[in-house]
Structure 1
Amino acid sequence: MKKSENEKAWTICPECKGLGKKSQKLQKKFRLQYKKALEEFEQSNKEGIPPIRPKAHLNSCINCAGSGLIRSEKFPEVDNENYPHIAIIGGGIGGVALAVACLHRGIPFTLYERDTNFEARSQGYGLTLQQASKAIEGFGIFSLEKGIVSTRHLVHTPEGKVIGEWGMRKWLSSVNQKVTKRTNIHIARQALRLALLEQLGGHDSLKWGHQLVNFKENDNKTIELSFQVNGKIQMAKADLIVGADGIRSTVRNLLIGDAITPLRYLDCIVILGICPLSALEGLDSPLLDSATVFQTGNGNERIYIMPYTSDSVMWQLSFPMEEAEAKALSAKGCEALKEEALLRTQWHSPIPQILKATKANQVSGYPVYDREVLTTELLEKGKQITLLGDAAHPMSPFKGQGANQALLDALALARGIYKGCGPFSNWKATGIRKSVLTDFETEMLERSAKKVKDSAEAAQFLHSDIVLLENNQPRGSCLKGKDLME
């Protein structure tokens, strides 16, 4: 069988060292300005604020078209001598992405997943790739066969009045308007996860059915891990642990403890469902063209409907509810959740039809939580341990940022390990925290903190009268007066 583009072997680009960008030479005048400022600072006995060394502009690498990867007959040989062996805990989007990025760099890893197989439990519903729609190329995925590009986003009142519209179709309708907006890719979470797993090519370092129980950092700078496997305890060793095991991360709990940054309830519940378009036969609606995202709200309930695959849609209904009630409703199961959703959304077509046609076994619901943003000081408790994705910075689903940030985390960490632990580094003596982890965590937490904050705010304003403002922008933009991606 002919390999698809996504199944080819890749290795890092030698021109940009896998970064996808190359530093442009700093102009002479900026170098001279910095040199002069530094001399004046030193002559003043270092009083005042020292000058900041100017950074050269980064250009996209021409050799790899910005992906950081080039084709190869085979993946790089695993370099056990120079690089740390990484134990990746969690086989979701972030964990598998990190494994793929390590594979491309010859960094040894073992990927541990508590589930017994790929289909063992639901891995969520649909997601939207925003910043990561370009970063996904850094994992050797240059086309998402099951990804859907939306070109129109509408906001309605319950009666069906359009009060907001944006997207490529709106922007292109104005001949004089220059379109520079990126497009969003909608894809089922499991489809993206499978695309990443296929990059591993059946790699034998993926261990299913391994539930982490404990770990211990040894004086010899190795870590012992304990896993429960088929009811028995199995031991393993690693040089670095990366917790990519979700919002209820075992690694995070063992490292920091749950009491310091407990789950934070965001005062609302989400009910999700998937409806095949074939179940809506005879229903003629321009909203069901597989390229339109639409949402409807009344200031309390809000539903968001997007393409899930080319022949199905995913809906997400959310509304405020006391935590105890939300837990109780979720525990009642799919039938009760569907019934609740139907009662709350007798709105314009095709919303009631979509919810009614959704099979109960395709419905789920849960209270929405996040956690307070971590500090680097808390993460420094682990000399050879770090976190990424929801384990590090869980957030509400209302800004569509969870998977995006996990992918960016994974690529940043793999690049950091490749640069900081190479053959000419001294990481074994200085420690991987100083060589890699501190810089990685600082950047990750700074980048994701705003996403966590905006997602928490969205959980409030999307269930308020703000959602009813007439404005051709995402609802967050209506609130803040700037262009935010929902």
Structure 2
Amino acid sequence: MNGSTTNGTKKENFHVLIIGAGTTGLSVAQGLKTHGIPFTVFERQDVGKYVNWQREWSMGFHWGSNYIDHWPQKLQDNVWTTQNDPNAKMTEEQDHFIPIKNGKTGELVVKVPSETVRRVSRTKLRLLLSTDIDVQYGKKFLKLDDHGDKITAYFEDGTTAEGNVVIGCDSVHSKVREAVLSPEKINLEHVPVTIFNLTQQFTREQAKFIRSFEHPWLLIGVHPDQPMLAFINIANVKESDKPESVVFQMLYSKWGGSTPDTNEERHRVFKELGQQLCEPFKSASAWVKEDTWIHPDHLTHWPKPEKWDNHGGRITLAGDAAHPMAPYRGQGLNNALEDASYYIKAITSAVEGKKSLSEAVDAYDAEVLERGRREIDVSYKQAVAFHNFEMMQNSTIARHGTAKVAAAN
């Protein structure tokens, strides 16, 4: 049955609805495009907000680079142009070890091994993956109807779309997840940290000072006396010869408490935390401009993921929709890319008649669920450890680095 699905539908008549135009959804779209399988991508944000108002941050991109072979070759060739600083000069050691410092004294405590410490810009990666993809913006997903051989998706603007299958790539608070699981089985829980995550550009001299410490891309400090983590990395470099054009991402978190309601109060607490830290964390926090917006972030994860009803392979999940996790091991992007790669293989095998749709997606779901459970658990434990100096030194990331959980275990 080459070129047709197991129910006799020709490849060109098989249609995939992708809900969410983040990295996961776009990666799925590029894979389907490579294999000539029709699809439509729907994004809840309008185009202006999606393109121009994205919050910038960088993402760890290590073992996930092994799961981009389903992208068109030109995207694979250009993926490293999305690095936070494509021109950064690193030694061999700097490219394979992440330094963690005593956040009070500045002493190097742990060198975390990693396949690579390269990080990519969220904005740049989305832009690359949007190449030749027609995204339908302003489409807030509401619900699904399963008609057996077809699925209808309904959107808040009153429009609908019909396809053979749906994949929910719609982030942590996935609406597609709500369509395939009862509310009592979606037990997202708050990660009990007070967190401050912002971006900032500094003066030329300030930026050069921050980048003069230990590593050209990222700095991590764990306080020995306070349950506190500090993280500074390069989110983007607008002009390579201008330090003042560097966009720094700063993430400080403290175990317990709650994120203040007002931006003014968030600034006050953020800067108080900064004054308890060594350089360059101390000065960097003091230099943050008072009019900088600090988003009131609240972290959630899914401690006990449940098997969802995939409706005979017609509806499934990927990325944060499938396994929302604490971000303290930098695994979100890498797992999302693996999800996308496996989903492309599953759909391709069904379309080519090698497996039934149900068989192919059942196998995909089982792998994603099991892998997600492991990583959610380890990432949460790492979140705890990063706020406990003694625990951090024997944590998963200290012992096994950023490797996949199965390999680490």
> What's the TM-score bracket when you normalise by the shorter of the two chains?
0.7 to 0.9
Kindly state the Cα deviation for residue 366 of structure 1 after the two structures are TM-superposed. Answer: 1.3
1:374 counterpart letter in structure 2:
P
Kindly state the Cα deviation for residue 193 of structure 1 after the two structures are TM-superposed. Answer: 1.1
Which residue pairs with 1:351 in the alignment? 281
Which residue pairs with 1:193 in the alignment? 126
**Relative contact order, CA 8 A, sep 6+: which one is greater?**
2
Query: Structure 1's 123 and 409: CA in aligned 2 closer, same or farther, altered over 3 A?
Result: farther
Query: Structure 1's 397 and 189: CA in aligned 2 closer, same or farther, altered over 3 A?
Result: same
RMSD: 2.6
Kindly state the Cα deviation for residue 394 of structure 1 after the two structures are TM-superposed. Answer: 0.3
Distance in 1 between residues matched to 2:211 and 2:44, nearest whole Å:
42
Which residue pairs with 2:43 in the alignment? 113
Within a 5 Å distance, the mapping from 1:390-409 to structure 2 comes to 390-409=320-339
CA distances 1:436-472 after superposition (whole Å, capped 9, x unpaired): 2101111112222211111111121111132564x8x
1:450 counterpart = 2:379: no
Which residue pairs with 1:216 in the alignment? 145
Kindly state the Cα deviation for residue 383 of structure 1 after the two structures are TM-superposed. Answer: 4.6
Which residue pairs with 1:318 in the alignment? 253
2:370 counterpart letter in structure 1:
E
Give TM-score, length-normalised by structure 1. 0.69
Kindly state the Cα deviation for residue 293 of structure 1 after the two structures are TM-superposed. Answer: 3.1
The answer (yes or no) to whether the contact 2:99–2:214 under 8 Å persists in 1 is: no
Which residue pairs with 1:241 in the alignment? 166
Kindly state the Cα deviation for residue 304 of structure 1 after the two structures are TM-superposed. Answer: 1.4
Look up the SS of the partner of 1:287 in the other structure: coil
1:339 counterpart letter in structure 2:
R
Distance in 2 between residues matched to 1:284 and 1:373, nearest whole Å:
40
Report the identity percentage: 18
Give TM-score, length-normalised by structure 2. 0.82
The answer (yes or no) to whether the contact 2:211–2:217 under 8 Å persists in 1 is: no
Which residue pairs with 1:476 in the alignment? 396
CA distances 1:253-304 after superposition (whole Å, capped 9, x unpaired): 1221332122111211321122335351573762276344332323411111
Of 291, 294, 307, which aligns to 2:220? Answer: 294
Query: Structure 1's 363 and 136: CA in aligned 2 closer, same or farther, altered over 3 A?
Result: farther
Within a 5 Å distance, the mapping from 1:231-380 to structure 2 comes to 233-278=158-203, 280=206, 283=209, 286-287=212-213, 290-298=216-224, 299-310=226-237, 311-322=246-257, 325-326=258-259, 329=260, 331-333=261-263, 335-346=264-275, 347-359=277-289, 360-361=291-292, 363-376=294-307, 378-380=308-310
Query: Structure 1's 313 and 392: CA in aligned 2 closer, same or farther, altered over 3 A?
Result: same
Kindly state the Cα deviation for residue 414 of structure 1 after the two structures are TM-superposed. Answer: 0.8
1:145 counterpart = 2:81: yes
Distance in 2 between residues matched to 1:158 and 1:223, nearest whole Å:
52
Q: Which runs of 5+ in 1 are unaligned?
A: 1-78, 169-180
1:125 counterpart = 2:57: yes
The answer (yes or no) to whether the contact 1:252–1:391 under 8 Å persists in 2 is: yes
Look up the SS of the partner of 1:159 in the other structure: coil
The list of structure 1 runs, each at least 4 consecutive aligned residues, that deviate by more than 4 angstroms after superposition, is none
Query: Structure 1's 91 and 104: CA in aligned 2 closer, same or farther, altered over 3 A?
Result: same
1:157 counterpart = 2:102: yes
1:134 counterpart = 2:66: yes
Distance in 1 between residues matched to 2:303 and 2:192, nearest whole Å:
15
Structure number with greater Rg is: 1
Distance in 1 between residues matched to 2:388 and 2:45, nearest whole Å:
39
CA distances 1:292-348 after superposition (whole Å, capped 9, x unpaired): 4332323411111222224332221111224xx33xx2x423x43232111112121
